[in-house]
Amino acid sequence: MVFNRFAVYLVAMAAVLLSTALPGLTSATRAYGAQSVPGASFYSVSRIADGIELTLQFGRPDYPRHALIAATATLRNLSHPNLAVERSRRPFGLCSWPAVSFVSANAAVQNVEPAQPIPVPVPPCPFPGVVDLPIGQTFVEHQIVVLWSSRLMATAQVFNHVDNGYDGFSFQGPTARFRLHSAPAPTVTIQQAGAYSAALVSLPPGAQGRLYYRSWDTCGAVLRPAVAYYWTQLYTHRLVSSCDKWHLDVAALNMPVATLNLGVSSNRLSEVAQRPLSLSRPHSEHNHLHPAHPSPAGQ
C-alpha cells in the first residue's frame, strides 16, 4: 500500500515537472482544417492531398485588422513520388518569391486582395532552380504576410520531376481563419522639399517594435526610395524620394499596415488607405522546365 502511494506520488510529480519545464509539450497543438485549441501557444492548420502535406503556423489566432504577421509554411512529402520544390532563397523579392503564396479571402473563398494603383515592375525571371524533395523530407519557409481579411489561403508552387525536367503545378493548401479586432496603425507624414518628398514614419503612442516596409516606384529618378519588393526591416523612420509615383507600406509585427501611394488621385488614395496593398507572387502552372543541373534537396 505504501509502495502504491509512493508510485502515484512519483507519477504526479513527474507530470508537474514535465509541464513546467517543457511547456511546449502540453500547450503546443496541431489543428486540421481551421480549428484551434484554446490556450495553445500557436495556431496551425494543415491540408493533406496527393501524398503532400502543407502546414501553416502562426503565433496566435487573433490579430488586428490588416496586421503584419509572421507565418511559417512547412511542406512535407508524405508519399508523393518525384516531388520537387524551388531552391530556398533569401532575401525574397523580384525573381525570388517564396514558394508558398498567401492570399486573403472572403467566406466564399474568393480573393479579396486590394488592387495596386502603382504596379510592381515585374521583369522576366530566369529559371529559379529546383531541388528534389524525397519522401519523408520537409521544406520550411518563414514569411511575413498581411491579414487583409479574416481568412488566409495558401498555395505552394511545386514540381514533378519527370525525365530530365520538371512539370510545375500548384498545390492548394489550407485556409487559416482568424479573429480580427481594431488597432491603430503607424502614421506616415509627408514633407515636401522642392522636387523631393520625405515620408516620416511613427508608431502609435505607446507602441513598440521593429518596423518593416515595402517600397517601389515607377520612375528612374536619381534620388529614389529604398526599393524593397518584399517585407524588409526598416532601420530609419525617414524615407526620401523624388519620384512622381511612389508606393510605401510600413508596419510593425502584429500591428496594422499604413500605406502611402504618392502621385495617385485623392479618391484612389483614400480607398487604398483603408485597404492596404498586397504583393502576391505570380505562379505559372504546368510549365515544363529543364534546369541545367538538378541537385538533391538540402544541397
Nearest C-alpha neighbor of 262 from the set 237, 279, 243: 243
Q: Specify the pLDDT at position 67.
A: 96
Grid cell for residue 157: 508552387
Q: Specify the pLDDT at position 297.
A: 37
Phi, psi of 220 (to 5 degrees): -115, 40
Grid cell for residue 46: 494543415
Grid cell for residue 184: 491603430
> What does each of the 299 residues of the chain score in pLDDT, given as a tens digit?
444 444 444 444 444 333 333 332 222 222 323 333 333 348 999 999 999 999 999 999 999 999 999 999 999 999 999 999 988 666 788 788 899 999 999 998 888 887 878 877 777 787 778 999 999 999 999 999 999 999 999 999 999 999 888 899 999 999 999 999 999 999 999 888 777 888 899 999 988 899 999 988 877 545 455 678 899 999 888 888 878 788 899 999 999 999 989 887 642 333 333 333 333 343 333 333 433 333 333 33
Task: Walk me through the domains of the chain, giving residue ranges and CATH numbers.
Answer: 33-181+280-296 (2.60.40), 187-274 (2.60.40)
- The alpha carbon dihedral of 98, 100, 101, 102 has a sign of negative
Q: Specify the pLDDT at position 97.
A: 85
Grid cell for residue 48: 493533406
Q: Specify the pLDDT at position 10.
A: 43
- CA atoms within 13 Å, Cβ hemisphere of 227: 13
Q: Specify the pLDDT at position 43.
A: 95
Grid cell for residue 196: 523631393
